Amino acid sequence: MITLHHVPQSRSMRVLWLLHELDVDFRVVEHPFDKSLRSPEFLTLSPAGRVPALEIDGERMFESGAMVEYLCERFPDAGLGRGPGDMDRMAWLVWVHFAETVSQHTAALTQQHVALYEEWMRSPTVMKLEAARVKKCFAAIEARLSTPVENRDYLLTSGFSAADIAVGQAVYMALHFARLDGFPETARWYDRITDRGGFRASLPGPESGLIYNRDFYEVPDA
């Protein structure tokens, strides 16, 4: 049995989406976004006290990028990975891990807008810098999708893959802080991938706790 330890609207959502797309049996243990992730019990699953954590065949994994690679290798028939020798192998690895570049800037914005409760703790300057860095990430995706090659509906020429899942989930989180205005190809790609059943199944349920209580966080005036 595969068990995913998950916090809604966090990086673990990309692994949840992937599991739905792989169409394999798994269960989800949902955790709140709070200090319980630092409990001794949870630290045996993820030593830094973060999600996702994955239990599989008696082993434990942390780091979402590693999970994406491992699960695609374990379930190759789903066609979501690109193995050694595949023409898109290099691009697949690059874009799967580019998701973390997007996510690190989103995490900084989440800290500023959500985790720091007192206004005096927050920095409009940091917010503006990190939002601008998110838009640079959007520009990188836009450049990739604008490449004039056949079948560039997805990040890889060969079609939909876990790279779209990883980056798409990172964009889902980033859209709480930066908009896709001026990135038309990225907006069309995002609409395309989030219309999939796997994405919809990975969204927070009605009883789920949420990290974000707003659809969008504006940068306050300095």
**Alpha-carbon span 202 to 118, nearest angstrom:** 31
Q: Which token pair is 134? A: 């998110």
Q: Which token pair is 151? A: 């079948």
Q: What is the pLDDT of residues 125-166, one digit of tens each?
A: 999 999 999 999 999 999 999 977 666 899 999 999 999 999
Domains and CATH numbers, the chain: 2-78 (3.40.30.10), 89-202 (1.20.1050.10)
Please report the pLDDT score of residue 119 as a whole number. Answer: 87
Q: Residue 164 in 3-state DSSP?
A: helix
Let me know: does 22 contact 15? Beta carbons within 8 Å.
no
Residue among 174, 162, 168 nearest 192 (CA) = 168
Q: What is the pLDDT of residues 111-124, one digit of tens each?
A: 999 999 888 999 99
Amino acid at 95: W
Residue among 14, 9, 54, 15 nearest 32 (CA) = 9
